[in-house]
Chains A and B, each alone.
Chain A
Amino acid sequence: MATTTAAITLTSTDLLTDSLSLSVTQTLYKAGTTTGLDSIQYERLEVATGDVYDIVDATAAGANKANKIYIANKSTNDAYYIDVYIAALAIGRLYAGDWAFFPLEAAAATQDVGIEAIGGAQIVEFALIHEGKTLVAS
Chain B
Amino acid sequence: MATTTAQFTLTSTDIADNSLSISNTMTLTTAGTATGITETTGLARKKIASATLADLITIASTDVTAAKSAKVYIKNTSTATDKWGLVGVGDSSGTPIYIGRLYGGDWMLIPWDANSGEDITMTMNDATATIIEYMVFFE
Which residues does A use to contact B, with CB under 8 Å?
2-16, 20, 22, 24, 26-27, 29, 31-34, 36-40, 42, 64-68, 70, 72, 78-79, 81, 83-84, 86-95, 97-107, 111, 127, 129
Contact = CB atoms under 8 A, between A and B. Distances in A.
27 contacts: A2-B12, A6-B8, A8-B109, A14-B3, A15-B4, A15-B40, A22-B135, A24-B107, A29-B103, A32-B82, A78-B33, A81-B32, A81-B69, A83-B113, A86-B98, A87-B97, A89-B97, A91-B89, A91-B111, A92-B110, A94-B111, A97-B27, A98-B69, A99-B26, A102-B87, A102-B100, A103-B99
Contacts of A15: 2-4, 36-38, 40
Contacts of B100: 67-68, 102-106
A2 B12 CA distance: 7
A68 B87 CA distance: 13
Contacts of A68: 100
Contacts of B2: 12, 14-15
Contacts of B128: none
Interface residues of B, number: 63
Contacts of B60: none
B72 to A, nearest CB: 8
A114 B110 CA distance: 14
Contacts of B6: 8-10, 99
A24 to B, nearest CB: 5
Closest 8 CB pairs between A and B?
Answer: A92-B111, A103-B100, A4-B12, A12-B4, A2-B15, A15-B2, A102-B108, A32-B82
B29 interface: yes
Which of A100, A104, A127 lies at the interface centre, i.e. has the most chain B CB atoms within 10 A of its CB?
A: A100
A55 to B, nearest CB: 15
Given A26-B105, A93-B69, A100 B4 contact: no
